[in-house]
């Protein structure tokens, strides 16, 4: 397969836009990094193989352009207010600035664009939009997040919408998008207590998404119905895909359970009992629709269980299977070390 040098250039620009936002020492510099990141991601969405990519890229561009223009307006407003008036408490302005950033990461109630956009993208672009595109806005949100009633309502609403929205979905991409909305609620709740904790949560979330995306690309699956008879002769691929999904849902003792365990511990210490209870209940709902996929697939099958048939097929798929397995097992060891440190 020939290397597309243009897409490599845009991918490097995308990463550089994220780094500019992370390293900026002013709001204007952070806004410029977000714009570079946006304008370099739009060409990556285009593809001749999928007819829905044009619609998805247009939706993504319009939403991100509206959020960026609102962010620029609020940044200028905050600068003028600081120059004209001496304000010691500017938490209301900070909450306003967070609204376009929350729209950029598809946090509820600004989440409605993400499932329709993700549905028309390839798996690689789904991985980028669910992980890399969230790094810079979430880091900017962590600079000014405070424990206010507005933030608590956004956390609760994100947890509920991410859990309930995925119950009636049959597309794996939409299920991952609603799960991402639920995980944003968890990360915002952890972000109130400390920056390092949400970075750990986001890293483990990214590891789970990598495993699911690569295995879905390998099996070429997009809908739940395709999991019934896909790769029945190589059950271990399906098995690793379902283990990664259950890990993303937070089933103990898998990798995705450990950051939620740490989050619940710190929320209990900070007396966030109601918020932690709602997050736990919503996490059970997300775990339910992952277990629904696994249950129906393992029960409705028409072939005997053959794990690996031939030596050639074993060598072909063992690298990706081993990669996913190493991520899950080594991740559990790292989380165990982190828990002992705390």
170-184: per-residue pLDDT in tens? 888 999 999 999 999
pLDDT band at 231 (very low <50, low <70, confident <90, very high): low
Burial level of 266, CB count in 10 A (0-12/13-18/19+)?
Answer: middle
pLDDT of 238 higher than 70: yes
Across 9-18, average pLDDT = 92
pTM of the model: 0.85
The CA-atom distances, in angstroms, between 288 and each of 56, 168, 292 are: 28, 12, 6
Name beta bridge partners: 223. Answer: 171
Any idea which residue has 């920056």 for tokens? 195
Q: What is the mean pLDDT of the chain?
A: 81
Instruction: Tell me which range, 210-224, 249-263, 273-287, is most confidently predicted by mean pLDDT.
Output: 273-287
Q: How would you write 69-80 as a 3-class SS string?
A: HHHHHHHHHHHH
Other beta carbons less than 10 A from residue 139's beta carbon: 19
CA distance 48 to 118: 17
Across 106-119, average pLDDT = 88
pLDDT of 331 higher than 70: no
pLDDT of 187 higher than 90: yes
Q: How would you write 24-50 as a 3-class SS string?
A: CCCHHHHHHHHHHHHHHHHHHHCCCCC
pLDDT of 80 higher than 90: no
Residue 83, pLDDT score: 60
Residue 305, pLDDT score: 44
The CA-atom distances, in angstroms, between 14 and each of 5, 34, 43, 183, 236 are: 14, 9, 11, 23, 35
Q: 170 versus 322: which is more confidently predicted?
A: 170
Residue among 227, 222, 243, 220 nearest 327 (CA): 243
Residue 313, pLDDT score: 47
pLDDT of 229 higher than 80: no
Residue 64, pLDDT score: 93
Handedness of CA 38, 151, 199, 30 (dihedral sign): positive
């Amino acid at each position: 397969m020939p290397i597309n040098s243009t897409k490599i250039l845009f991918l490097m620009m995308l990463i550089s836009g994220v780094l500019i936002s992370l390293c900026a020492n002013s709001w204007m510099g952070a806004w410029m990094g977000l714009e570079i990141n946006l304008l370099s991601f739009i060409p990556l969405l285009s593809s001749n193989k999928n007819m829905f990519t044009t619609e998805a890229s247009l939706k993504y561009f319009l939403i991100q352009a509206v959020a960026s223009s609102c962010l620029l307006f609020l940044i200028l407003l905050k600068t003028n207010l600081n120059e004209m008036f001496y304000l010691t408490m500017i938490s209301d302005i900070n909450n306003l600035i967070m609204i376009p950033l929350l729209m950029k990461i598809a946090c509820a109630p600004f989440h409605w664009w993400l499932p329709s956009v993700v549905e028309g993208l390839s798996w690689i672009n789904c991985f980028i939009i669910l992980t890399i595109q969230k790094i810079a806005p979430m880091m900017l949100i962590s600079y000014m997040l405070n424990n206010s009633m507005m933030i608590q309502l956004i956390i609760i609403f994100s947890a509920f919408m991410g859990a309930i929205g995925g119950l009636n979905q049959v597309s794996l991409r939409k299920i991952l998008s609603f799960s991402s909305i639920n995980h944003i609620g968890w990360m915002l709740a952890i972000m109130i207590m400390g920056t390092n904790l949400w970075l750990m949560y986001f890293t483990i979330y990214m590891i789970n998404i990598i495993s699911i995306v690569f295995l879905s690309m390998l099996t070429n699956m997009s809908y739940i119905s395709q999991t019934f008879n896909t790769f029945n002769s190589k059950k271990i691929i399906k098995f690793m895909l379902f283990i990664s999904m259950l890990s993303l849902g937070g089933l103990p003792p898998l990798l995705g359970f450990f950051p939620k365990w740490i989050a619940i511990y710190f929320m209990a210490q900070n007396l966030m009992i109601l918020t932690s209870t709602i997050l736990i209940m919503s996490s059970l709902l997300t775990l339910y629709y992952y277990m629904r996929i696994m249950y129906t697939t393992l029960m409705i099958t028409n072939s005997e269980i053959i794990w690996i048939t031939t030596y050639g097929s074993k060598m072909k798929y063992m690298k990706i299977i081993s990669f996913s397995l190493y991520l899950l097992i080594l991740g559990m060891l790292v989380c165990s070390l982190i828990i002992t440190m705390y």
